[in-house]
């Protein structure tokens, strides 16, 4: 009589799949197997080596368990975040173009994503080199309002304009320094045709792209910027302290250490959060409570 194969992790894997809201294809990709393998595993009729598959499943489940112990980063309306969201509100109300620029890691994306989360009429787009053409950015803008289409740029542009005209929508284009002049001009043309708001955000390169080309291809875009704001590299100490306190409570020695670290390196919010998350995970793995020693050890893992 053939011994029945035991699928030891089927129930646990199904629970994790549901909790993480993963499709079967996404689950298979994270485990590192073909989707058909997962399908057969759940059905209990996998014809291959079950032990080999379960080694990969157990590795995935272990990572999920460790990630559950990751330190959460709650949104904190710091003075820097408020300066960003206040400008976005102004741009949104005026239906104009806005520009936020500054060094990486100072909290621009954090504040912009929170504005999108709280505002149904806002759509956030993280720009990449793949969106540098007029057609690519137009397709992405359509996707943000739940329209999936293919066609010529003219047809896509027409559909986007018809959908947006007369609305109170705002697109938040983060990392907009990745957009080519032609893609930026396409966004400007859509703004002109619809009257919607556009918030550009990025590094100092974005500001340079606008100003250095103001007498050339981006003259029309430059002239339409109704409000701009520079977010400086120096984040106020109270902002750093507020974020750290929200993450771990009022642990004053750790707060002082991270405030000092931010001042010394100029690394901003992102550096502090990454170092604190690394320190927290070190403590979780070793089964200890977070201490100043974990924070100092985590500093050695950072780029600066």
Name the pLDDT band for 73 (thresholds 50, 70, 90).
confident
Separation CA 16–CA 102 (nearest Å): 39
DSSP E strands: which ranges in 73-142? 97-101, 122-126
Q: Of the candidates 294, 262, 296, 268, which has an alpha carbon nearest to the alpha carbon of residue 281?
A: 294
Q: Over 70: is that where the pLDDT of 242 sits?
A: yes
Q: What is the pLDDT of residue 179?
A: 94
Collapsed DSSP state (helix, strand, coil) of residue 122? strand
Q: What is the pLDDT of residue 115?
A: 96
Centre a 10 Å sphere on the Cβ of residue 245 and count the other Cβ atoms it contains. Answer: 15
For the domain 79-230, what is the CATH code? 3.40.50.300
Helices assigned H by DSSP within the chain: 10-19, 24-31, 35-43, 50-68, 79-94, 108-118, 134-144, 153-164, 181-194, 204-212, 219-223, 237-248, 252-265, 268-286, 292-299
Q: Over 80: is that where the pLDDT of 249 sits?
A: yes
Collapsed DSSP state (helix, strand, coil) of residue 293? helix
> Class assignment of domain 10-68?
mainly alpha
Mean model confidence pLDDT for the chain: 90
Q: For residues 214-229, give the mean pLDDT.
A: 81
Q: For residues 275-296, give the mean pLDDT.
A: 91
Whole-prediction pTM: 0.77
95-139 residue pLDDT tens:
999 999 998 888 899 999 999 999 999 999 999 999 999 999 999
Q: Over 50: is that where the pLDDT of 221 sits?
A: yes
- Phi then psi for residue 230, to 5 deg, are -90, 130
Q: Which residues lie below 8 Å from residue 138, measured CB to CB, with a gap of 6+? A: 153, 156, 157, 160, 186, 190
Q: For residues 78-89, give the mean pLDDT.
A: 95
């Amino acid at each position: 009589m053939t011994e029945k194969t035991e699928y030891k992790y089927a129930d646990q894997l199904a629970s994790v799949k549901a909790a993480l809201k993963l499709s079967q294809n996404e689950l298979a990709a994270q485990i590192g197997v073909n989707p058909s393998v997962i399908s057969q595993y759940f059905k209990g009729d996998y014809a291959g080596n079950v032990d080999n598959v379960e080694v990969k499943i157990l590795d995935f489940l272990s990572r999920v368990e460790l990630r559950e112990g990751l330190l959460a980063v709650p949104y904190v309306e710091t003075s820097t975040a408020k300066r960003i969201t206040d400008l976005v509100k102004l741009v949104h109300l005026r239906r104009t173009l806005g520009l936020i620029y500054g060094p990486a890691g100072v909290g621009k994306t954090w504040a912009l994503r929170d504005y999108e989360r709280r505002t149904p009429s806002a759509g956030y787009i993280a720009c990449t080199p793949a969106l540098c053409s007029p057609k690519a950015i137009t397709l992405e803008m359509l996707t943000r309002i739940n329209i999936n289409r293919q066609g010529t740029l003219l047809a896509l542009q027409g559909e986007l304009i018809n959908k947006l005209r007369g609305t109170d929508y705002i697109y938040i284009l983060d990392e907009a320094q990745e957009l080519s002049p032609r893609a930026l001009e396409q966004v400007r043309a859509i703004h002109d045709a619809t009257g919607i708001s556009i918030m550009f955000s990025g590094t100092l390169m974005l500001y340079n792209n606008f100003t250095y080309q103001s007498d050339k291809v981006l003259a029309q875009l430059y002239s339409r910027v109704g409000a701009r704001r520079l977010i400086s590299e120096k984040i106020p100490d109270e902002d750093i302290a507020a974020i750290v306190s929200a993450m771990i409570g009022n642990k004053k020695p750790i707060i002082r250490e991270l405030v000092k670290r931010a001042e010394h390196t100029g690394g901003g919010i992102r550096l502090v959060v990454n170092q604190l998350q690394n320190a927290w995970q070190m403590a979780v793995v070793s089964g200890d409570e977070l201490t100043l020693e974990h924070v100092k050890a985590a500093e050695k893992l950072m780029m600066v």
